[in-house]
């Protein structure tokens, strides 16, 4: 797993679009408005990407997607648990996460 930790407006979605275009992996978006934004930005970047997927649809159909790029994970989590304030998350370091992902 590759983690991109950047501030708002620093290009996370652009990075996600470029990776999606390169690997032809769909981007999971938190809602329909973000899907439209990703599609418009992909056109500006001249990037051909698979159809982005709403987070809710991804959760219902995740076995259909062996790989995914999740944009704005913090917002997706907040929508998953709307009545819970997420105070902190932890992640495995990138090397460890990559090892764990490879074991499947």
The whole-number mean pLDDT for each consecutive block of 10 residues of the chain, a chain of 104 residues, reads 76 93 94 96 97 90 83 82 77 55 42
Look at residue 77 in the predicted model and tell me its pLDDT. Answer: 80
Please give the Cα distance from 104 to 30 (Å, whole number).
Answer: 26
Instruction: Give the start-to-end residue ranges of the domains of the chain.
Output: 12-102
Look at residue 99 in the predicted model and tell me its pLDDT. Answer: 47
Note the pTM of the prediction, 2 decimals. Answer: 0.79
Look at residue 18 in the predicted model and tell me its pLDDT. Answer: 95
Q: Around Cβ 78, how many Cβ atoms within 10 Å?
A: 14
What length is written for the chain? 104
* DSSP secondary structure letter of residue 69: E
């Amino acid at each position: 797993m590759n983690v991109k930790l950047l501030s708002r407006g620093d290009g996370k979605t652009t990075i996600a679009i470029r990776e999606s275009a390169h690997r032809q992996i769909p981007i999971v978006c938190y809602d329909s408005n973000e899907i439209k934004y990703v599609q418009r930005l992909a056109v500006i970047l001249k990037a051909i990407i698979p159809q982005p997927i709403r987070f809710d649809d991804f959760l219902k159909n995740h076995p259909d997607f062996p790989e995914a790029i999740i944009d704005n994970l913090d917002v997706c989590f907040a929508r998953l648990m709307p009545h819970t304030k997420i105070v902190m998350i932890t992640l495995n370091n990138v090397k460890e996460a990559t090892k764990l992902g490879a074991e499947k």
